[in-house]
Amino acid sequence: MKQRIQIARVLANEPQMLLMDEPFAALDAHTRAAMQRELLSIWRATGKTVLFITHDIDEAIILATKIGVMHAGPASKLKGVVDVTLSEAERDRTHDRFVDVYRQVHEMIRDEVVISLQRAH
């Protein structure tokens, strides 16, 4: 409920863009899925640009039209962008097209994880 109230407060100010930094990270799986659906509904109704930051590849694919992948490390830059042109039905985690996008994003991130691990040692 807190996330819904926060979104409503932000929308009341009629911003051009919503910045959401891991807003659903602390939620259980069912509530998280409900909030994802709610956000998609709000996005469709308002047409607002939403910059949604998440470490969850599945969540990014479910919600995004574009996924930006960052390089490893603080003050990093954008590594690349993946266009997500999936239909609503294709955004199911078991759909072949969903899995293809997942693999594409995962490959971009995998290299950055290796870099992060090397820096830590």
Residue spans per domain, the chain: 1-53, 57-121
Tens digit of pLDDT for each residue in 28-50? 999 999 999 989 998 898 888 99
pTM: 0.85
Strands 17-21, 49-53: pairing is parallel
Tens digit of pLDDT for each residue in 71-93? 988 888 999 999 999 999 999 99
Name which of 112, 62, 113, 119 is nearest 91 in CA terms: 62
- Under DSSP, the state recorded for 71 is P
Is the pLDDT at 116 greater than 90, yes or no? no
Cα–Cα distance, 7 to 3 (Å, whole number) = 6
